[in-house]
Amino acid sequence: MIKKIEHLGIAVKDFEKSIAIYEKLFQTPCYKIEKVESEGVNTAFFQIGESKIELLEATKPESPIAKFLEKKGNGFHHVAFETDNIEGEINRLIKDGFELIHQTPKDGADNKRIAFLHPKSADGLLVELCQEKSE
Ligand code: ZN
């Protein structure tokens, strides 16, 4: 089951500059910067009340974020929904006709297992499923 919005992902070209802007906007420091090698991204997280924002910068030209930024520039990139059973949710979505970019969960930033849905099957929206890794 999808429980709530876990975070919103925002693509940025100039990581340091954007972190400074968002720190000023939220009046709170970024609490975590983490590289996700497999996705070719650096991530920076902000906690605003119960909500989280993730900034993403590309670390290599073939990163999906680099391609997104080239086409659209800085801005909203994806919404991440939290689930407590990511395998079950992936299977449910496949059965319901959604196309998954990741059919098995992979390691994401911020101690999560993640899987992305293909935007063309989700009404144009890039959707990330995520589940907190159990220690
Ligand atoms: Zn994300």
pLDDT digits (tens, 9 = 90+) for 121-130: 999 999 999 9
Instruction: Evaluate if residue 135 carries a pLDDT over 70.
Output: no
Is pLDDT of 22 > 70?
Answer: yes
Of all residues in the chain, the percent with pLDDT exceeding 90 is 96
pTM: 0.94
pLDDT at 38: 85
26: Cβ–Cβ under 8 A, 6 or more apart, which residues?
46, 48, 53
Cα 44 to ligand 1 centre (Å): 10
Ligand 1 ion: Cβ-proximal residues, 5 Å cutoff: 9, 54, 80, 128
Half-sphere exposure of 46 (CA within 13 A, CB side): 21
Burial class (CB in 10 A: 0-12, 13-18, 19+), 64: middle
76 pLDDT higher than 70 = yes
